[in-house]
Amino acid sequence: MFEALRRDVRTVLERDPAARSALEVLLCYPGVHALAFHRLAHRVWNRGWTTLARFISHVARFLTGIEIHPAARLGPGLFIDHGLGVVIGETAEVGENVTILQGVTLGGTSLKREKRHPTLGDNVVVGAGAKIIGAFKIGDGSRIGAGSVVVREVPPNSVVVGVPGRVTYRDGQKVGGIDLNQVDLPDPVAKAIDQLMDRIRALEAEVESLRRAVAVSDVDGPE
């Protein structure tokens, strides 16, 4: 448990330039506190003491603003930045070295007791306010843009933006490691509008050319 806590601290120091010291991280980062509570609640849940596990999770939510169901499976290297409003459901699974920002929901869509929450692969970054709803996987190395609503599976090394979330690729090239950039995200809607505007300009040029040709033919026609 102490080794896991040390890794949590190292993770924050590596990914958050605002972190100044290990002591600051231990005392002032609710994401680290929420993960520590979750490990305890998860162990209690696995022993069959489900009500006690839920109570521990409830106390953690009260203290940190982060709600993680005790049955959720969280991989090592998870960084919950700021964390307020983060909700991780019962059957959610999170891979290694994942980054989740404030306001993120890993939610479910089924009323049955089955796999109903998403699975996040390794090195995934989920932007602030994003909602990932359903029992599907977000592929390794993908980035979910802030405010996106994702309702279907995402291939590895993809970028998702918009509502509903649309999958794009960064020049079709694989993204290595952890990329926290939430600014330089491609916008497929804006790209489509730009293409339409280019087409409209081309059509206007053709119409103008035809208009001039007709005008010239009328002038040079038989008297």
Predicted local confidence at residue 195, as pLDDT: 82
The answer to whether residues 170 and 69 belong to one domain is yes
Residues of the domain holding 197: 187-223
Has residue 88 got a pLDDT over 70? yes
Q: How confident is the model at residue 189 (pLDDT cuts 50, 70, 90)?
A: low
Predicted local confidence at residue 201, as pLDDT: 87
Instruction: Of 55, 142, 128, 134, give the one whose Cα is nearest residue 95.
Output: 142
The answer to whether residues 15 and 28 belong to one domain is yes
Peptide bond into 164 cis (omega under 30): yes
pLDDT digits (tens, 9 = 90+) for 192-218: 787 888 889 888 888 888 888 777 776
Considering its fold, how many domains does the chain have in total? 2
Of the chain, the percentage scoring pLDDT greater than 70 comes to: 87
Q: Is 100 helix (H, G, I), strand (E, B) or coil?
A: strand
Q: Which of 31-35, 135-139, 148-152, 167-171 has the lowest mean pLDDT?
A: 167-171
pTM > 0.85: yes or no: no
Q: How confident is the model at residue 178 (pLDDT cuts 50, 70, 90)?
A: low
DSSP track, 148-202: -EE-S-B-TT-EEETTTTEEE-STT-PPPS-----SS---HHHHHHHHHHHHHHH
Has residue 108 got a pLDDT over 80? yes
Has residue 104 got a pLDDT over 70? yes
The answer to whether residues 56 and 111 belong to one domain is yes
Q: Is 69 helix (H, G, I), strand (E, B) or coil?
A: coil
The answer to whether residues 144 and 55 belong to one domain is yes
9 touches 31 (CB < 8 A): no
The answer to whether residues 138 and 220 belong to one domain is no
CATH assignment at residue 84: 2.160.10.10
CA distance 19 to 220: 79
- Backbone angles phi and psi of 99, in degrees to 5: -120, 125
The answer to whether residues 180 and 204 belong to one domain is no
Has residue 170 got a pLDDT over 70? no
CA distance 144 to 38: 24
Predicted local confidence at residue 136, as pLDDT: 92
The answer to whether residues 219 and 133 belong to one domain is no
The answer to whether residues 117 and 22 belong to one domain is yes
Q: Looking at per-residue confidence, does 217 or 160 come out higher? A: 160
The answer to whether residues 73 and 153 belong to one domain is yes
CA distance 150 to 207: 42
The answer to whether residues 153 and 74 belong to one domain is yes
pLDDT digits (tens, 9 = 90+) for 17-74: 898 999 999 999 999 999 999 999 999 999 999 999 999 999 999 999 999 999 999 9
The answer to whether residues 91 and 201 belong to one domain is no
The answer to whether residues 177 and 194 belong to one domain is no
Predicted local confidence at residue 112, as pLDDT: 85
